[in-house]
Structures are given as C-alpha cells and as structure tokens.
C-alpha cells in the first residue's frame, strides 16, 4: 500500500495516480487531518480526521516494500512531475508513531543536518584565511570559536552518548558563534583614529 498525504492536486497528481493504476500499485489519498493516526493504522485503512495536520506532504510506503523498491517507485513518480516533500517507509520502529510525529522527527533531522553542514562550511572557509591579514584579537576569537566547534563535532561522533547528546543540542550555538566571530573578523576595519 502507498499512501499520499497532502499531495498537490492537479495534472501531476493525476499522472502519478494513472501510473499507480497502470502498474497495479495499491494506493490511497489521506485526509489532511489524518496526521494524528499511527503509520500502522493509516496503512491498515484508517483515514478519519484525527484533528491533527502536518505541514509537509508525504508519500508513505507499507512494510511490504523494500528500500530498493521505494527508490525505484520514487524515481518513476518524480518523472510524472509529482513532488512530495517526505518519503516514508513504514518499519517496526516508526509504525506505532503518528504521521505528525514522524514528519516532525524528520524535519528536525533535516534541520540538524543543514546546521551541521553549515558549520562544516564555516570551518572549511576559515582555512582559506591568512592570520597576518587580520586583527590579532579578532583572529584569536575566531580560532577559539573554531576549536569549540571542532570539539562539538568530535563529541558528535565519539562513543560517549551523553556527550553526543549535549553536542547535538549545542551545534546551533557553536555554528552561530563561529559565524559571528567570522563576521567580526572580516568586518573589522581597525581602531578609529
């Protein structure tokens, strides 16, 4: 079973549904307020309004599909022009969770990855700067911010689960601190005369 949540109406959806019919894939369109139901309940046929909606659109695949089958189907659906924000493969782990919980978790994970990527880009950008071109105090401030950021990155991949959790919580602050430090370094024009 394939479920479509908040699929954008129009010719792209019509093409995708025609594709499902042509290749005999079972599908169902979900009510916009079905997000409060568990993935398992939705797959089993629940579609009544739960009073809960989610912002993202999603395509949900039952446990009957393998990851490889999901990838192939998604590639074919993209060829129809239909765009759904989040693909979800129901598993033993996520099946009991509500659709809204799964979408929130995935959005938080995507935001974390974006923050992590941005932090790494900032660190990489500092490697192209030359110390002698900048104010020594501003340079030192930036070096401290880089060291703090690298410590957080090391904790993320370390074996200490508590340190990793703390690092995950601190990643945005470290990225913002490094960005602010770089901004001060690059915008410093020297002492007023």
pLDDT in tens, 123-166: 999 999 999 889 999 999 999 999 999 999 998 888 888 888 88
For the beta sheet containing 27-30, the strands, ordered from the edge strand earlier in sequence to the opposite edge, are 27-30, 2-5, 58-61, 86-89
Tell me whether residue 132 is in a domain: yes
- One DSSP character per residue, 25-39 reads --EEEEPTTBTTSBH
Question: What pLDDT was estimated at residue 192?
Answer: 53
Average pLDDT of the chain is 90
Question: Range of 79's domain?
Answer: 2-97
Residue that finishes a domain, picked among 81, 97, 113: 97
Residues 65 and 152 in one domain: no
**pTM for the complete prediction?**
0.74
Digit-coded pLDDT (tens) for 28-57: 999 889 999 999 999 999 888 888 889 888
């Amino acid at each position: 079973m394939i479920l479509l949540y908040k699929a954008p109406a129009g010719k792209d959806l019509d093409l995708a549904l025609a594709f499902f019919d042509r290749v005999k894939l079972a599908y169902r369109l979900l009510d916009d307020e079905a997000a409060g139901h568990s993935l398992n309940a939705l797959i089993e046929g629940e579609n009544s309004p739960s009073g809960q909606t989610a912002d993202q659109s999603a395509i949900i695949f039952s446990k009957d599909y393998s990851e490889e089958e999901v990838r192939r189907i998604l590639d074919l659906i993209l060829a129809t022009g239909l765009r759904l924000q989040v693909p979800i493969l129901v598993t033993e782990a996520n099946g009991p969770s509500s659709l809204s919980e799964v979408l929130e978790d995935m959005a938080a994970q995507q935001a974390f990855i974006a923050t992590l990527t941005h932090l790494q880009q900032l660190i990489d950008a500092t490697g192209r700067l030359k110390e002698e071109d900048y104010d020594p105090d501003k340079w030192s401030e930036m070096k401290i911010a880089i060291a703090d950021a690298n410590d957080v990155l090391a904790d993320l991949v370390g074996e200490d689960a508590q340190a990793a959790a703390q690092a995950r919580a601190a990643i945005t602050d470290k990225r913002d601190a490094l960005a602010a430090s770089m901004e001060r370094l690059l915008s410093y024009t020297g002492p007023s005369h």
